[in-house]
Amino acid sequence: MIELPKYQVLNLEHSGNLQKKRSHQEINKQMHEKKIWLDELHEGSRYGLEGKIIVKKKSSFQEIIVLETKAHGRALMLDGCWMTSDKEEKYYHECLVHPALSSLHEISNILIIGGGDGGTARECLKYKSVANIDLVEIDNEIVTISKHYLQQISMGAWNDKRLKVHFSDGFEWVKNINDNYYDVVLIDCSDPSQFSSGLFSKSFYKECQRIIRKDGIFATQSESPESFQNIHINIIKSLRETFKRVETMYSFVPFYPSGIWSWTFASDNVKSFLKEVNIEINSIEKSCDIWNLNYQSGAFKMMPNKIYKILSENKK
Ligand code: SPD
């Protein structure tokens, strides 16, 4: 049995009547033994996994839960929304990282905003040419918990000297960076909330454009065209108003609301955008479980027609 860290919150609603005087050991045992269903509730639907809670903690920003499941391995939920799981994380992380990184001949300097589970950093670190990654995560508890409990996602990324972790607000970070500083900026954030909504704003995208080198690439998770349609549309519109070229790819993260998800890529260099030119592309393809160039070329053609129509109407 894994020892709970000191900061474990002990009053689980799913654990029945916990007596104040119970020993930490007893409570520990009960949390690990009790199987529950944990659901993300979204507009009258529920997306649930069955398992045992091994971490439940309220950080300064959000409630963090790690669920140990049989079918999905470990799964991370923040403020009632699924973020990632051992089983499904590659559908998300490979699709955020490789369309961007495979489009540049060589990449050295990367900014990741969010990404506290380490999955995005892990995919970036596969590229030998990468010399520096600044990972800017607002909530240090996510990284602490990921290091302890989500090692199958980070796969040693935290020990790689090229990765520098900074606990800071992503928007504040970009404001303080020099022009043309990064080759690639990747936004691996949660759904818009009180503390993350700035990462979906046009002013944030403008700052990102300023700190990316002229032919560099910006990439962001861009929510679901089905379950978060308005946010999805706004992301694409705002990016189109900022960068010269913007493309969205669609794929699946089965336990996110509606299952269909998207990632949007933007650049001011229209000529070399999404051109599959990276010198390490063959070995990267071999290392992936989901992404490859074929998968990507289909995924960039999958914009649902209703989204296409809304975006075309807005152009007029
Ligand atoms: N609705 C969930 C959106 C979450 C996007 N970020 C996931 C973080 C995985 N690194």
Sites in the chain below the pLDDT cut of 70: 1-33, 272, 314-316
**Beta-sheet strands, E only, within the chain:** 36-42, 45-58, 63-69, 74-78, 81-85, 109-114, 132-137, 163-167, 182-188, 212-221, 245-252, 260-267
Domains contained in the chain, number? 2
Tokens for 133? 């990654």
Residues 142 and 123 placed together within one structural domain of the fold: yes
Residues 71 and 125 placed together within one structural domain of the fold: no
CATH of the domain at 69: 2.30.140.10
Residues 32 and 174 placed together within one structural domain of the fold: no
Q: Using a 6 Å cutoff on CB, does residue 256 contact ligand 1?
A: yes
Give me the pLDDT at residue 25, please.
56
- C-beta of residue 278 within 8 angstroms of C-beta of residue 102: yes
Give me the pLDDT at residue 2, please.
37
In a domain, 1, yes or no: no
Tokens for 158? 């935290």
d(CA 19, CA 96) in angstroms, rounded, equals: 45
Q: Enumerate the active-site residues.
A: 188
Q: Using a 6 Å cutoff on CB, does residue 119 contact ligand 1?
A: yes
CATH of the domain at 159: 3.40.50.150
Which is it for strands 63-69 and 74-78: parallel, antiparallel or unpaired?
A: antiparallel
Q: Using a 6 Å cutoff on CB, does residue 278 contact ligand 1?
A: no
| Ligand 1 atom at shortest distance from the alpha carbon of 153 | 10
Residues 153 and 284 placed together within one structural domain of the fold: yes
**In the listed set 83, 101, 122, which residue is the last one of a domain according to the structure?**
83
| Ligand 1 atom at shortest distance from the alpha carbon of 89 | 9
In a domain, 160, yes or no: yes
Closest CA to 190 of 59, 303, 8: 59
d(CA 207, CA 187) in angstroms, rounded, equals: 13
